[in-house]
Amino acid sequence: MTTQDHISRASSSVSRRAKDVAGVATLRVLMVEDSADDALFMLRELKRGGYKVLHERVDTAEGMKAALEKQVWDVVVSDHAMPSFSAPAALELLKENGWLDLPFIIVSGHIGEDAAVRAMKAGAHDFIAKDSLARLVPAIERALRDAEERRQRRQVQDALRLAEEKYRGIFENAVEGIFQTTAGGKLVTANPMMARIFGYESPEEMIEAIRDLKEQLYVEPMRRAEFVRRMRQDGRVLDFETQFYRKDGAVIWTSTNARAVRGDSGEIVGFEGSVEDITDRKRAESKLRRSLDRLVALHEAGSLLGSTLEPEEIATRLLEIMRRISGLTAAVISLHKAGHLHVWRSVGLENLKPKTRYSPEVREAQEDVMKSEKSRAFLLDDRRDGEGESTAGLCMPLRVRERTIGVLEAYGPEVLAERDTVEILENLTNQAASAFENAQLYGELAKREKRLQELVGKVLVAQEEERRRVSYDVHDGLAQVAAAAYQHLQVFAQYNTPSSEEGREDLERVSGLVRQTVGEARRIIANLRPTALDDFGLKSAVRLHLDTLRADGWDISYKADIGNERLPAVTETAIFRVIQEALNNVGKHAGSRRVDLSLERLPVGPLAPGERPRIRLTVRDYGRGFVVESPENRGAPSGPGERVGMTGMRERIALLGGDFRVASRPGEGTLVVAEVPLLEGPVGGIAEDVTGQAADHFVSDPFGDGLE
């Protein structure tokens, strides 16, 4: 049985005695006595003292040992000298078996004073003569109290010892550095891990070496000032990251958790805490951040290079992205012209030494790339006064349409020559080359579209000119002849009235036909080139045109909210022709003459920066409708002629940079919407604004007599 077991059992014994206080106290007594009579006297005295006694009497070492093993005792009462055993031997047996706190009282009738003193020094707690048994109960109670105090004191000491051993184990074997410093920066305590983190053989060596943390350990001394400031402000720091020097001069990243240690008067006398080496984590974070930056940059490059068709913008963005993700010192795009490379776009050239780009290594790399069409890395020793790092260079071919048109040069730290960096830069270069090629293709397409637009414009101008010419011919030919014939018939009827009813009816019928011819000629002239559009503007010309249709039975609502100012002539002509064609389609195909027509000027409020005003035309009918999505009738209800009419409307609007949309569904009618930006140009409307020719013939009304 161990000493700790004996202590536990003794403590349990005390607890049990305490529980019996309400009744008669039980006292367990081991008697080491060879005389049964003497044992009886002692038991009688204990019972007289108020105890219920449980006892066992032994007189040999074996008996005593057996009794100790099978029972927990409160006290041992021993005779001093017996035939085969003695009190000193009993004491020794208790010590050997770990019963250090069990009270041991000697009761004897024959013992000298010297022997009693030796027994007390050996560990006996008291000595009582057999003729003074009245002292037995007080002596036992005093011994029990002393034993309890010893047990408690021993338990506290053991707990402190265990705590110290535990703390020492934690301190010595911690995976973090543990330290104590003075407020002035002197290292006072360090554990083995602290020494290992900073490259020292032992804590003692580190404590001896570090006299000033700020000057000896901090890479940035201002971080020490920040550490102290936060300590004075908050009393602690958490996850305080900073860079330190190791013993060998290497730089490490650390994270510190610490608290301020204060003196009796509350002033800060030092700091204590833990330090963790996070260099690997920082490197991993840096590597991860670098990889993430590269992925984001590649995505950004793909988006940016795919969103512009301007070669200059492509080049500028490419160089900026390369510089950001690779830490480049400089980047250059050189184009091959007239047998030589010429700088086209660059960033950071001012950071290179003046003659760096003209060194033999660069020239050789440029020529090799132009010939082999493969990337080439090289190293330049351009250190100043032999200090600093060398500059790495990388030349990559810029290929457009299977042809190398130039070289992209990159200059920076030696990491630039690493394979993963080269691959990323090559990827960006390839994306840029594709963007250059797209820009060229779209540029050519834009030129062709511009030429096509010019041709369409010329066709529309020619169409307006043809309309003007035909209107002129009808005006000066058919219309004049018909008007003259009508006037002559009127004069003839006045002076040569037929005598017969039949003759008068014939003359009236002929006059009506001539009158109808005059009206048709007028309508043809108005449709070919309405004079109201030239004289009064779009709003009034549309209203007059709609009034004519209403006279023929059309149900048309008209709303015009475009103000009273005249629009550019080309805009007025285009919108009026679209209205004419849209209403013409309604008349031919909708099967209904109910139409809603509106003109709006947008936006309603003030213009935003860079915004231009525009006119929106909406024509809605309530006829039979059609399927717009069908290829054979896309843009028109039916027939090639009608499709050409819808295409003509779309081309007129597109020519002015506008937007033309058609929505329709069988049984639900058709909606035509056109939006035209208001361009700079002559306002008002005479025909020459559109056709370039005078139109005096359209100003006067040849039918001043009011004929319809």
Residue 457 pLDDT: 61
pLDDT in tens, 214-255: 999 999 999 999 999 999 999 999 999 999 999 999 999 999
Residues in the chain: 708
* CA-to-CA dists, residue 31 to 35, 68, 118, 605, angstroms: 10, 11, 21, 115
pLDDT higher than threshold 50 for residue 707? no
104-118, 367-381, 505-519, 630-644: which is most confident:
367-381
Confidence of residue 644 (pLDDT cuts 50, 70, 90): low
Q: Which of 83-92, 222-231, 300-309, 471-480 has the lowest mean pLDDT?
A: 300-309
pLDDT higher than threshold 60 for residue 597? yes
Using the structure block, give the residue that is written with the tokens 């920076």. Answer: 412
Mean pLDDT of 638-642: 46
pLDDT higher than threshold 70 for residue 265? yes
Point out the domain boundary residue: 417, 432, 449: 417
Evaluate whether residue 73 is within a structural domain. yes
Closest CA to 129 of 148, 142, 115, 144: 115
Confidence of residue 602 (pLDDT cuts 50, 70, 90): confident
- Report the distance separating Cα 389 and Cα 387, nearest Å: 7
Residue 656 pLDDT: 81
Evaluate whether residue 397 is within a structural domain. yes
**Are 103 and 214 members of one domain?**
no
* CA-to-CA dists, residue 134 to 57, 116, 636, angstroms: 20, 19, 134
**Are 156 and 213 members of one domain?**
no
Evaluate whether residue 321 is within a structural domain. yes
**Are 187 and 323 members of one domain?**
no
Task: Say if CB 158 and CB 251 are below 8 A apart.
Answer: no
CATH of the domain at 370: 3.30.450.40
Share of the chain above pLDDT 70, in %: 81
Q: What share of the chain is helix, strand, coil (3-state, %, to 5)?
A: 55, 20, 25
- Report the distance separating Cα 134 and Cα 687, nearest Å: 147
Q: Read out DSSP for 5-65?
A: HHHHHHHHHHHHHHHGGGSPEEEEEEEE-S-HHHHHHHHHHHHHTTEEEEEEEE-SHHHHH
Output the CA torsion 93→95→97→100 (10° steps).
130
Output the CA torsion 38→44→48→53 (10° steps).
110
Residue 120 pLDDT: 81
Q: Average pLDDT of the chain?
A: 79
Using the structure block, give the residue that is written with the tokens 């001093």. Answer: 80
pLDDT higher than threshold 80 for residue 186? yes
Query: What is the token pair recorded at 66?
Result: 């057996």
**Are 605 and 636 members of one domain?**
yes
pLDDT higher than threshold 80 for residue 381? no
Residue 680 pLDDT: 59
pLDDT higher than threshold 50 for residue 703? no
Task: Say if CB 646 and CB 662 are below 8 A apart.
Answer: yes
Mean pLDDT of 163-188: 81
Angle between helices 501-528 and 538-551 (to 10 degrees): 150
**Are 557 and 645 members of one domain?**
yes
Higher pLDDT: 517 or 619? It is 619
Query: What is the token pair recorded at 636?
Result: 């028109």
Closest CA to 32 of 1, 67, 7: 67
Say if residue 603 is preceded by a cis peptide, omega within 30 of 0.
Answer: yes
Residue 682 pLDDT: 55
How many helices (H) and strands (E) the chain has is answered by 21, 20
pLDDT higher than threshold 50 for residue 699? no
Q: Which of 209-213, 410-414, 455-459, 605-609 has the lowest mean pLDDT?
A: 455-459
CATH of the domain at 590: 3.30.565.10
- Report the distance separating Cα 88 and Cα 282, nearest Å: 70
**Are 128 and 252 members of one domain?**
no
Higher pLDDT: 623 or 439? It is 623
Point out the domain boundary residue: 277, 294, 317: 277
Residue 205 pLDDT: 92
Higher pLDDT: 116 or 33? It is 33
Mean pLDDT of 100-126: 80
- Report the distance separating Cα 624 and Cα 666, nearest Å: 6
Mean pLDDT of 277-293: 84
- Report the distance separating Cα 275 and Cα 190, nearest Å: 10
Evaluate whether residue 508 is within a structural domain. no
How many alpha carbons lie under 13 Å from residue 170 in its C-beta half-sphere?
8
Mean pLDDT of 484-488: 77
Evaluate whether residue 296 is within a structural domain. no
- Report the distance separating Cα 530 and Cα 37, nearest Å: 154
Residue 686 pLDDT: 39
Task: Say if CB 363 and CB 384 are below 8 A apart.
Answer: no
**Are 225 and 356 members of one domain?**
no
Residue 706 pLDDT: 36
**Are 253 and 367 members of one domain?**
no
Closest CA to 124 of 171, 73, 89, 167: 89
Evaluate whether residue 62 is within a structural domain. yes
CATH of the domain at 193: 3.30.450.20
pLDDT higher than threshold 80 for residue 320? no
Evaluate whether residue 470 is within a structural domain. no
Evaluate whether residue 513 is within a structural domain. no
At 200, the amino acid letter reads: Y
**Are 341 and 198 members of one domain?**
no
Give every strand in the sheet of 659-664, ordered side by side: 555-561, 594-602, 614-621, 670-677, 659-664
The secondary structure of 183-226, three-state, reads CCCCEEEECHHHHHHCCCCCHHHHHHHCCCHHHHCECCHHHHHH
Closest CA to 406 of 344, 314, 357: 344
Mean pLDDT of 118-142: 84
Confidence of residue 527 (pLDDT cuts 50, 70, 90): low
Residue 697 pLDDT: 35
CATH of the domain at 59: 3.40.50.2300
Mean pLDDT of 37-50: 87
Mean pLDDT of 467-472: 69
pLDDT higher than threshold 80 for residue 12? no
- Report the distance separating Cα 579 and Cα 223, nearest Å: 77
CA angle 183, 185, 189 (to 5 degrees): 90
pLDDT higher than threshold 90 for residue 470? no
Point out the domain boundary residue: 417, 445, 472: 417
Residue 693 pLDDT: 39
Query: What is the token pair recorded at 64?
Result: 């005593």
pLDDT in tens, 20-34: 444 578 899 999 888
The DSSP code for 130 is G
Residue 633 pLDDT: 44
3-class secondary-structure state, position 258: strand
Mean pLDDT of 650-668: 87
Mean pLDDT of 604-616: 80
Query: What is the token pair recorded at 583?
Result: 């209403």
Task: Say if CB 478 and CB 521 are below 8 A apart.
Answer: yes
3-class secondary-structure state, position 462: helix
Q: Residues 432, 433, 439, 445: is their CA dihedral positive or negative?
A: negative
Mean pLDDT of 482-501: 77
Structural domains in the chain (count): 4
**Are 38 and 107 members of one domain?**
yes
Confidence of residue 16 (pLDDT cuts 50, 70, 90): very low
**Are 536 and 662 members of one domain?**
yes
Domain that holds residue 188: 174-277
Phi, psi of 489 (to 5 degrees): -65, -40
Residue 617 pLDDT: 94
**Are 187 and 325 members of one domain?**
no
Q: CB neighbours of 681 closer than 8 A, spacing ≥ 6?
A: 568, 569, 570, 571, 689
Query: What is the token pair recorded at 370?
Result: 């132009």
Output the CA torsion 647→649→655→656 (10° steps).
-150
Q: Read out DSSP for 631-695?
A: GGGTTSSSSHHHHHHHHHHHHHHHHTT-EEEEEE-TTS-EEEEEEEE--SS-BS--THHHHSS--
> Widest CA span of the chain, in angstroms?
193
Closest CA to 45 of 136, 107, 130: 136
How many alpha carbons lie under 13 Å from residue 153 in its C-beta half-sphere?
8
